[in-house]
Amino acid sequence: MTPRIIRADAILPGEERPLRDGAVVLDASDTILDAGRAEDILARHAGAPIEHVRGVLLPGLVNAHAHVELSGLRGKVAGGSGFVPWVDRMMGIRASEQPEEDSAAIEEGAAELEAFGTVAIGDVTNTLSAVHALARHGIGGIVFHEIARLDPARAFTRLAEMKAEYDAAAATWPTADLAYAPAPHTVYTVHPDAIRAVLASSRVRGVRTTVHLAEHPAERTFLLEGRGPFVDFARKMGFAIDGFPVPRRSPVDVAADLGLLSPDVLLVHLTDIRARELEAVVASGAPVVLCPRSNLFIEVRLPPLIEMLNAGMVPALGTDSLASNLSLDVLAEAKALGERFPSVPKGVLTDMATAAGARALGRQDLGRLAKGLRPGVLSVEGELAQSEDPCAWVLRQPATCRRWVARRGGTSKEIPS
């Protein structure tokens, strides 16, 4: 098959300005051979077949933080009163329902990710139960196998179990496009010795890991003072909290002490971060992932996006799980931020859902429409007025206007309705 040209009213290359009347050239494996202004592309690739798209082309989306195995909890957990009441309600539901065993809901979650235009994910799991569903829907990225144990003996027992679970899964691991890494849940729910062990293990494997950090005030109160709503919840649940050494340091300081402020650790949330702590995160080069709709659902607050952007950081985006969100659509996260931070250029928001996510996951082959990459190409179709910012227009269109123009791997496929 000869190279083919896709020409559209505009293309969003990622990390640069949108191009009006743009085009991409794809080979049979959907690798981008060229991208730029249609005029230049047509001159350089004369004779190649041309497909015209009414609308905008953008790279496949990157959802840098989700929990697909919790998809069975969609619509079941009430939010709005803070993290500890939310997690308490979720654990109450989990006493009688195991979402990780709800394979139909997991399959639906993975199909939804594909339908929204997702090529890669940072998917947190306790059970590895979503791995095959993600692969079936062409979604790559990193599977973060999560530990949450406060007591050191229990934590190391769990790490040994996780290793056995991974060894068993590795024989039928569905795709090299999904990497595996162990990951600590948070710095207040995992014993520090186990966090160090997880970090060492992911570094030996040469993969990134992740941690939820500075998500809510109860986390800070527990780490600084050893008291508060989290302690009450942990005692009620029977967690072995007395085995956890209260550091009397802030969440970000604890993360720094443990070596988690590092370019190979994705820091998720930072909803409750302070200015001084943000400086430390920025200086560390650690990738940051924001989950704005989940934060609004649980805590009714947002991370300090303007301060982050002013500090030179472009965070990635994630949806978190359907236990705290309406959908797994990462472009809806960008849209939600745009509504609440209207001064932020819309091109920054679309980059957060694509290029920044790819960077956070260490996937430089994704997230941009650029020569040599194989990012998956998505079209958002409709009437784009000449006067309109293509990025703002993309964020305004309903998800049903999206279509896969090119999948990674060369099998062009319609979005399932």
Select 64 or 349, whichever has its Cβ closest to Zn ion. 64
Q: How far is the CB of 333 from Zn ion (least distance, A)?
A: 13
In the complex, the smallest distance separating the C-beta of residue 212 from Zn ion, rounded to whole angstroms, is 5
The CA-based diameter of the chain, rounded to the nearest angstrom, is 71
The CA distance from 26 to 41, in Å, is 12
Give the residues lining the site for Zn ion (CB under 5 A). Answer: 320
Nearest residue (CB) to Zn ion, 267 versus 348: 267
Q: How far is CA 133 from CA 41, 114, 123, 293, in A?
A: 37, 11, 12, 24
- Using the minimum distance from each CB to Zn ion, give the nearer residue, 126 or 201: 126
Q: Which is nearer to Zn ion, 219 or 320 (CB)?
A: 320
Alpha-carbon Rg for the chain, nearest whole angstrom, is: 21
Integer Cα distance of 358 and 381 in angstroms: 23
Residue 31, helix vs strand vs coil: coil
**Of 262 and 319, which has the nearer Cβ to Zn ion?**
319
What amino acid is encoded at 84 in this protein?
A: V
- End-to-end alpha carbon distance in the chain: 28
Backbone angles phi, psi at 141, to 5 degrees: 120, -140
- What's the angle, vertex CA 20, arms to CA 12 and CA 37, rounded to 5? 85
Compare residues 90 and 169 and give the one whose CB is closer to Zn ion.
90
What's the closest the beta carbon of residue 89 comes to Zn ion, in angstroms?
Answer: 16
Nearest to Zn ion of 100, 320 (CB atom): 320
The nearer residue to Zn ion, 24 or 190, going by C-beta atoms, is: 190
The residue at minimum Cβ distance from Zn ion is 320
- Work out whether strand 4-11 and strand 19-26 pair parallel, antiparallel, or are unpaired: antiparallel
Could you give the CA distance from residue 415 to residue 398 in angstroms, rounded to a whole number?
A: 14
* Least distance between Zn ion and beta carbon 124 (Å): 6
Q: Cβ of residue 317: shortest distance to Zn ion, in angstroms?
A: 13
Tokens of 217: 């005030």
283 exposure class (CB count in 10 Å sphere: 0-12, 13-18, 19+):
exposed
Pairing relation of β-strands 178-184 and 402-406? unpaired
Q: Is the separation of the CB atoms in 245 and 215 below 8 Å?
A: no
